[in-house]
Amino acid sequence: MEYFAKNNRRDDFAIVCTSTLELGIDIGSVDQVIQVDATHTISSLIQRVGRSGRKDGAVSKLSLFATTPMTMLQSLVCWNLYCHKYIEPPFSIQCPYDLLAHQAISIVKSTNGIGAQRLVQALKSNFAFSHLPENEIREIVDHLVQTDIFEKIQHELIIGMEGEKIVNKRDFYSSFVREINLKVFHKSQAIGELQLNPLLEEDTNILLAARIWKIVEIDWKARKIYVVPAHDGQKPRFEGKSGAIHREICREMYRILLTDDTFEPLDPESVAVLSQLRKNYEPYRNLDFHHERPLVSTLKACYLHLFMGSRETEALQFLFQQVGVKQDINANCILTFGEDAAEITEKWSMLPELYNSLDSLLADWLLQHPEGISFSKWGYLLPLSYQVRLLREKKFDFVGAAEILEGIGLVSV
C-alpha cells in the first residue's frame, strides 16, 4: 500500500491520478485500486483492497492519494489498525422502532384489514421486534391510528387517508434514505445545494460556488437556505457531512501524532508530511493521552483537538448548542469555537448537567427541527418520545459523550 502526498503551486495537496481510472468502482479484476483520500471505516478500506488481485497467484494492491495531511493520517491509521487485526465492530440497532412502524403499515396493507391485537401479535412474533415490549408496540400502533395512517373500522384497522399517501409511493417498500439537499438562494437566484445537516444555523458562513455566504434564514420545511455575501471575515463553519468514523480510528490518529512510530507504507514525501504534523503537535506531547486534550487559543478562535468518534462528537456538539456555544468540526478531530478557552472550559464542565433533562431537550429540538429525524426514512411516523429514542440510538452517542466528559479534561495551551 502506497501513500502519495504531492504539493502543487499553492503548497497544499492535490489529487494525483489519471483520468482513465474509475475510483472506487470495480470493473472485473484489476491490477490495483486507486483510492483518493481516506475511507471512513477500516472495513471499507479492506473491501476496496480486495477488488484487486483476484486472479490466481495475484497480489491485492491499493495506491492511496491523499489530498490533505489529515486524510493521509486517517488512511494510515485504518491500514495500521487492520494490520493489528482490528476492524471496528458492526453498528447494530437494538430498538428499530422506525422499521416496526413501516412493517405495521405493510401488514395492514397486505391484509386489507386486521384487528389491532392481531397486528400487535404479528409484529411481536417477528424476530426483529420480538424483544420489544408489547406495550411499546401497541403504543406505536395507536399513534398510527391517531395520525390517520390507520383508520379503525369497527374492530379492524385499514389504511387511512394519510397512510394511502405513503403506501402508494413507489419507494414504499424500501427502507433506504435518499440523500436530502437544501437549495441555497441569494435573493431569488439559486446558487447551489448543501447536504441537509440539522446543525446548520443562521448567522453563520458557508462556502459555496467559490464564494463565502452568510446564512440569513433556513426554511427547513421548504428545504431552502437564504444567504447574502459575507463580509465579516469569518471562516466558513460548514463544509458538508462526512461518513461516521469510529472512535478507535480518531484515538489512534491522536496517538500517532504524539509518538515517533515509523510506517513502511509511506513514501518519502508522506513521511515528511507526517513529520510536519507531529511538529504541530509537539507542544502537546506531555499531555496524558488517555485523559487530556489540548484546547488551543488563537486571536481568531479556540480549537479543541478532541479526536473522538463521529457519533460521540455529534452528541457533544448538540450539548454545546444547548448552552449557547457555536462550533464547527473538522473531520471529527478538531472542534472550532468562537469563545475563548476559559469560557469553553466552563461550559464543558456544565455539559454533564444536561443529561438530567436530555430527553426533553431532544424533544424540543425535534419540534423546532423536524428534519432532525431525516436520517431514518420512517422515523417521522413515530410518536415524539420514540423519535427521541431513535435519535439517541442511531444518530447521537450520548453514552460515549458522557464517558468523554467524565474521563477527559481540557488543557489550555
Separation in Å, CA 279 to CA 185, 256, 273, 274:
42, 12, 10, 9
Q: What is the pLDDT of residue 118?
A: 96
Element (H, E) at 159: strand 156-159
Identify the segments of the chain with pLDDT beneath 70: 1-31, 178-179, 198-199, 235, 237-243, 329-332
pLDDT at 138: 97
pLDDT of 16: 34
* End-to-end CA gap in the chain: 36
pLDDT at 66: 82
> Which amino acid is located at 50 in the chain?
G
Query: How are beta strands 302-305 and 334-337 bridged, if at all?
Result: antiparallel
pLDDT (0 to 100) of residue 332: 59
Taking only the tens place, the pLDDT of each residue in 386-399 is: 999 999 999 999 99
User: What pLDDT digit, counting tens, does each position of 342-368 carry?
Assistant: 999 999 999 999 999 999 999 999 999
pLDDT of residue 193: 85
Place of cell 461518513: 243
At residue 211, the pLDDT reads 85
The DSSP output letter for 266 is B
> For residue 184, what pLDDT is reported?
92
DSSP output for 318-387:
HHHHHTT--EEEETTTEEEESS-HHHHHHHHHHGGGGGGGHHHHHHHHHHH-GGGGTTSTTGGGS-HHHH
The confidence score (pLDDT) of residue 27 equals 35
Please give the model's pTM, rounded to 2 decimal places.
Answer: 0.76
Question: What three-state secondary structure class fits 106?
Answer: helix
